[in-house]
Amino acid sequence: MNAIKNTHYRRVSESKITISELMLPSHANFSGKIHGGYILMLMDQIAFASASKYSGSYCVTASVDTVDFLNPIEVGELVTMKASVNYVGNSSMIIGIRVTAENIQTGKVKHCNSSYFTMVAKDETGKNVIVPTLILSSLEEVRRFYNSLKRISLKKERNRHEKNFDHTSDKALKELDNYRVKLEL
């Protein structure tokens, strides 16, 4: 049945973290919007906090999936990030993060992005450690878990395709005629 390697369990709620920060002119890029790199840094921090809170261990970022910037963030807006564990493996966790920005004068809130960070729990020597088994307490948590499984499967399939794809074949080179590229080999 369940091949669970540890007997320590935690609820998704034990991983929840919320941070809010007012966006300052020093966070802006050359077009006057908040720099995407700054938002990514904050997302990495909240992913670390959520994973470490859940696992009780130091955690490192293994990968970042799907960071689509849906709406720009303006100077003066209050950015709020919410994170929680969506999936656990043996030592890895997928942390879901939702980013919103609120115009504090009008109260209008916009969804800016959602992203998924894979974090790995480590011990003091840098070796992977087993994380607690995840308790799913709502159908929303079940949905997020299954969506994580789908993302993992798609990533494995993409990696398998990239490993096996022969970009030097005549077929692959001919296919480039369909794109805005010029071959000069």
Would you list the DSSP string of 95-159? EEEEEEEEETTT--EEEEEEEEEEEEEE-TTS-B-PPPEEEP-SHHHHHHHHHHHHHHHHHHHHH
The owner of tokens 């959602």 is 114
- Do strands 133-135 and 9-11 pair parallel, antiparallel, or not at all (unpaired)? parallel
Q: How far from the centroid of its chain's Cα atoms is residue 59's Cα? A: 14
pTM of the model: 0.87
Domains and their CATH numbers in the chain: 9-136 (3.10.129.10)
The contacts of residue 38 (CB under 8 Å, 6+ apart) are 27
Q: What is the signed CA dihedral for 113, 116, 121, 124, rounded to 10 degrees?
A: -40
Give, for all 185 residues of the chain, the pLDDT tens digit: 344 455 699 999 999 999 999 999 999 999 999 999 999 999 999 999 999 999 999 999 999 998 989 999 999 999 999 999 999 999 999 999 999 999 999 999 999 999 999 999 999 999 999 999 999 999 999 999 999 999 999 999 988 888 888 889 999 999 999 999 988 88
The contacts of residue 85 (CB under 8 Å, 6+ apart) are 12, 15, 50, 51, 54, 93, 94, 95, 96, 134
d(CA 65, CA 114): 10
